[in-house]
Amino acid sequence: DLGPPGISGLVDRMTAASLIRRRADPDDGRAWRLWLTPAGRAALAQSKAGLAEVNARLTAGFSEAEIDVVARWLTSLQSKFPKGEDE
């Protein structure tokens, strides 16, 4: 079992896209180990660069203190209104 529903489908799609390889775990016949391929490593680097650019654009013009206030406010909202409370 690879975890919550949807994870195995994601692994299948990433394997089909040659981003990862799946290998049997030598210590546990029920488990698989996942390995990034060179294409997977390139996609990871590209994703990190893209996220860094988005983060820079979102925080441009704000001081560290202002960003800290917003982060604390968002954390507060998250704890006051946890996901699934109304479901």
DSSP 36: E
36 and 48 Cβ atoms separated by less than 8 Å: no
Model confidence, pTM: 0.60
Whether residue 84 has pLDDT greater than 80: no
**Does residue 44 belong to any structural domain of this protein?**
no
What is the rounded distance in angstroms from the CA atom of residue 20 to the CA atom of residue 41? 9
Query: What sign results for the dihedral spanned by CA atoms 24, 6, 82, 87?
Result: negative
What is the rounded distance in angstroms from the CA atom of residue 24 to the CA atom of residue 44? 23
**Does residue 81 belong to any structural domain of this protein?**
no
**Does residue 13 belong to any structural domain of this protein?**
yes
> Tens digits of per-residue pLDDT, 21-55?
999 999 998 999 999 999 999 999 999 999 999 99
In which band, very low, low, confident or very high, does the pLDDT at 1 lie, cut at 50, 70 and 90? very low
How many structural domains compose the chain? 1
**Does residue 16 belong to any structural domain of this protein?**
yes
What is the rounded distance in angstroms from the CA atom of residue 54 to the CA atom of residue 59? 9
Residue 3 structural domain: 1-36
